[in-house]
Amino acid sequence: MNAPVPRLTSLSNCAGCAAKLRPDLLSELLAGLPNTRDKNALVGFETSDDAAVYRLTKDLAIVETVDFFPPVLDDPFAYGQIAAANAMSDIWAMGGRALFALNLVAFPKELPTSILKEILAGGASKAKEAGIPILGGHSVQSPEPKYGMAVTGVVHPKKVLTNAGGRAGDVLVLTKPIGTGIATTALKRGLASKALIKRVTAQMSALNKAAGEVFASGKFKVNALTDVTGFGLLGHGLEIARGAKLRLVLEAERVPFLTDILALADQGVIPGGTRTNLEHALKGTHFAEGTPDVIKFALADAQTNGGLLAAIPERQLEKALKALEKAGVEAWAVGQLVKGKPGIEVV
């Protein structure tokens, strides 16, 4: 008699982007690496940006990114979709256009290969939706399954959107609700409702292509852009604030949260990565007196394929929101960059 096939999430130590190394540890590790000087290297790891950018000609630069993680859901096809969508997101977060992808696979030899086939099919479906081919990849055996992609794109060297260009007065616009880390932890513990599982699956597998194309369209000014993933809204917000050498005033009441997320957090359903994120964020974040702990954890929640976060001049906010709405993208103005000590003020 064959042994029952385990749930995919039971094989993962951390779900999705919560598997990232801690921000402080990552900074420490990168600080010890040599910084290769190259006049054509427009974006490297120094600014903690979403992807590398390398200029080929005066009119063309390559955008390169890689992302993979352990199962975030038990459904292998949906897991493949989410991992692929998450990997491609970094291209659009730089204002680029995706060209092609390579698969990255780690898979246990004990599991049926039919599961891996479903994971790859999920990734292929998202690549097709994004309009790019998958041209190859690499696979290894591993006790913990992992899947993702290396994605190559292009951008004009003068139109690169980084996380470090924000200006005083810019409004921060977010394109997806927060809470996927808490939701997937609830799923892993058997505490998530069917409605929440359906909603979070749809959100995590949704491409950021439409939002990225709007932000890169040139129809309005975008001074900084990033996507909200493993370091949470606070972590990625800190990157924008520090990159701009400004203070981000984050209005907690304006931040959209997935339904049930705050209640689940209140029950102690909080990923380890989210706890680590909050610990790190506290070094640069001040919360208004009386801010509930559940709000603090939710703002630090480790996201998987979260939305884009853009810094837009206040005078162009209405134009930006209308353009996003026309493209079918939900968006919320959640804060503003102001002069002051680099960091975040949660009000």
Q: Which of the residues are catalytic? A: 17
Three-class SS state of 285: strand
Q: Where do the DSSP E strands lie in 70-205? A: 97-107, 134-141, 146-155, 170-174
The strand pairing partners of 67, in sequence order, are 149
Distance of alpha carbon 192 from alpha carbon 264, whole angstroms: 9
CA torsion sign for 312, 316, 317, 320 is negative
H or E, element range at 249: strand 247-250
DSSP reduced 3-state for 76? helix
Q: Dmax of the chain from CA atoms?
A: 67
Query: Using CA atoms, how far apart are residues 211 and 89, in angstroms rounded to an integer?
Result: 10
Is 70:15 a contact under the CB 8 Å cutoff?
yes
Q: Which helix (H) or strand (E) holds 290?
A: none
User: CB–CB of 261/298 below 8 Å?
Assistant: yes
Q: Which two tokens stand for residue 236?
A: 């990625």
Residue 13 contacts residue 188 (beta carbons within 8 Å): no
Q: How far apart, in whole angstroms, are the C-alpha atoms of residue 174 and residue 258? A: 13
